[in-house]
Amino acid sequence: MPIWKSRGLLEEPEIEILRWRVFETETGERHFVGVHAAQGTGRVSSTIIEFDILSRTGVTASGRRYVLVGESATDDEADYVWGLWARLNGVIFARDVTYKLLDQKPIP
């Protein structure tokens, strides 16, 4: 399964993602990882710079706004895309910090 560059910010300023999680790399950067609701494909955001827990929306370094739809969950395709993205971007270590963001217990 290939990974392709996303559409530009002007063309797609907001994305809804399903079955989402938040991963933190060894550098402390956090990324939304989930399924692009409109396309049904795995998605990894650029670094999260703002997050509003009440509206479940965040803004990333690219300026794109992400809307987290439904509950946090795992997804095979999203995990696959995250793994490739992490390898291509030299991520040494990452962990799921969704529970921290939502102030919940970790998902087993």
Let me know if residue 30 belongs to a domain. Answer: yes
Minimal CA–CA distance to 108: which of 80, 72, 59? 72
pLDDT of residue 2: 47
List, in sequence order, every beta strand (DSSP E) within 39-98: 41-44, 48-52, 57-60, 65-68, 94-96
Let me know if residue 1 belongs to a domain. Answer: no
For residue range 29-49, what is the model confidence (pLDDT) as tens digits?
A: 999 999 999 999 999 999 999
Let me know if residue 4 belongs to a domain. Answer: no
Token pair 């938040």: residue: 22
Domain count, the chain: 1
Stronger pLDDT, 54 or 60, i.e. the higher one: 60
Looking at the chain, the whole-number percentage of residues with pLDDT higher than 90 is: 77
Average pLDDT, the chain: 89
Let me know if residue 43 belongs to a domain. Answer: yes
Range of the domain at 48: 14-102
pTM: 0.87
Let me know if residue 9 belongs to a domain. Answer: no
Instruction: With cut-offs at 50, 70 and 90, classify the pLDDT of residue 102.
Output: confident
Let me know if residue 45 belongs to a domain. Answer: yes
